[in-house]
Amino acid sequence: MTESGVSTQAAPFALDAARLELAGLIERYCTMDGPNPTPIEGLSLFRASSTSTPICAVYRSVLAVAAQGTKRLSLADEAFQYDSQHYLITSVDLPVIGQITEASPERPYLCAVFDMDPRKIAELAGTMQLAPLPPGAGALGLGVSPLTTPVMDAFLRLVRLLDTPDDIPVLAPLREQELLYRLLTGAQGQRLRSIAATDSQGHRTARAIDWIKGNFDQPLSIDALADAVNMSKSSLHHHFKALTAMSPLQYQKQIRLQEARKMMLTEAIDAATVARRVGYESPSQFSREYRRLFGAPPLRDIARMR
């Protein structure tokens, strides 16, 4: 028997049944390929009927459970893969490259994603009798773990509320708290707590990430940023690299280029203008770095995307 009282032999069958139920819910409420919002705050469902080329995106602090299919993510030089056997956690906003590697019209990629609120994580962690984080605890802000019955059951109870929309206002907050509890007591608990704890280096580093995201078009002074989050320059660089797999300047560049691409896709704007709007002084440098990240110069890349 396991600690939860479920036999190890029964657990795989319970997980298989839960995955099938989750896949059925996603198919029922995903009327088209792509992201589909739901009436449950923070919960969205995703469907893809084919594999994809690598796509750049900024992942928020999320839990992602793929009920069917497989997705690969790259963060700087790190690579991750999650599928129906694993769940993904991101604890801070991260610029990643994602690619759906297993999907077809007969068996589409089906995924449920829940945005997590670090404040709620911190509040819940504060009420739990958890062992203190080890000194200097910190980890990359993205992780993949084997899907467990407690996490899957809690997540499924949240998604099931789509079938009873009148219950959502009262029961969704309770289901969310149960889900966060299971995550905090699971394999990814320390990753989440290191960001949520207000007196931790991880929390200070997360504040630095938020500042860069909110001011990506401004010149970046590492000295000023370190002062703003009450860290030394060397400590900020060390913890930032540990959390995001890149330096603050590299992170800013990724955010700038992704924002530039989004602007050009949604507005009638030329590359030189968008370069200035996202903070580049040199249009030629912008074009070089854009091509390095997206594989083509701005105009050609946008034409291909459209």
Residues 119 and 132: their CA atoms lie apart, in Å, by 18
CATH (residue range 198-306)? 1.10.10.60
Chain center to CA of 288 = 27
Residue 10 pLDDT greater than 70, yes or no: no
Residue 269, burial from CB neighbour count under 10 angstroms (0-12, 13-18, 19+)? middle
Total-model pTM: 0.86
The reply to whether 10-194 and 198-306 are identical in fold is no
- Would you kindly state where each structural domain of the chain is located, as residue ranges? 10-194, 198-306
How large is the C-alpha radius of gyration of the chain? 20
Q: What are phi and psi of 141, to 5 degrees?
A: -75, 20
For the segment 206-221, what is each residue's pLDDT rounded down to a tens digit? 999 999 999 999 999 9
For the segment 249-276, what is each residue's pLDDT rounded down to a tens digit? 999 999 999 999 999 988 888 899 999 9
For the segment 54-74, what is each residue's pLDDT rounded down to a tens digit? 888 899 899 999 999 999 999
Residues 189 and 187: their CA atoms lie apart, in Å, by 6
The fold adopted by the segment(s) 10-194 is Jelly Rolls (2.60.120)
Residue 2 pLDDT greater than 50, yes or no: no
Residue 236, burial from CB neighbour count under 10 angstroms (0-12, 13-18, 19+)? buried
